[in-house]
Amino acid sequence: MMQRGRQILSPQRFKITLLRLAHEIIENHRVEDPLYIIGIQERGVVLAERLIALIQSKNIPSPIHFGKLDITFYRDDYRLRETPLRATATEIDFDIEGKKIILMDDVLYTGRTIQAAMSALQDIGRVDQIRLLTMVDRRFNRHLPIRSDYTGLQVDSLDEAYVRVQWEGIDGQDKILIYSATKKDA
């Protein structure tokens, strides 16, 4: 059983962090260009939806194209798991060829999820650029040379720790917890 998590980002700070990320996207984007945002299923989609709502609330004239990316069959541990992974649908109804994409996920840990996402996107089309946005960057645990362009919170923790982003619509409250459990418990 996993130990009870210690809160490292409160609901109030969570909202501020989301707002900061939305403003960073707006600041780094030309208003005459469309925004292309893709969330990695499942929790990256939740993050993307929340940020899109914040960006739209600022009345930015840029059209926003939103997609959901499933990476199940691109994971390098797909066949190694005892319990089969549950695939979800990829829903990208726009052409990504030559586009500048903002790829979103809740936690950047080893980089393997992002590698799988980039492989999945490559099968759909050849993008011009991928910018990565993550709510949490566990920067001392990277297995691959992948970094986040937009980061909500950096967490420096041991491999045994587990970071969980909780979302109001799924978990009842927006907050980030850290557990001092082993990977088997997580």
Residue 110: inside a domain: yes
pLDDT score of 184 more than 50: no
Residue 13: inside a domain: no
Residue 75: inside a domain: yes
Residue 151: inside a domain: yes
Residue 153 maps to which CATH number?
3.40.50.2020
Q: Which helix (H) or strand (E) holds 40?
A: strand 35-40
Task: State the pLDDT at residue 25.
Answer: 97
Number of domains in the chain: 1
Residue 153: inside a domain: yes
Average pLDDT over residues 119-145: 94
Summarised one tens digit per residue, pLDDT across range 36-57 is 999 999 999 999 999 999 999 9
pLDDT score of 138 more than 50: yes
Cβ neighbours of 134 (radius 10 Å): 29
Q: Could you tell me which residues come within 8 angstroms of residue 102 by beta carbon, excluding any fewer than 6 positions away? A: 25, 35, 36, 37, 38, 130, 131, 132, 133, 150
User: 3-state DSSP helix/strand/coil percent for the chain, to nearest 5?
Assistant: 30, 25, 45
Residue 23: inside a domain: no
**Contact in structure between 74 and 40 (CB atoms under 8 Å):** no
Average pLDDT over residues 147-167: 89
Residue 79: inside a domain: yes
Residue numbers of the domain that contains 117? 30-157
Residue 53: inside a domain: yes
* Confidence category of residue 1, pLDDT binned at 50, 70, 90: very low
Q: Whole-model pTM?
A: 0.90
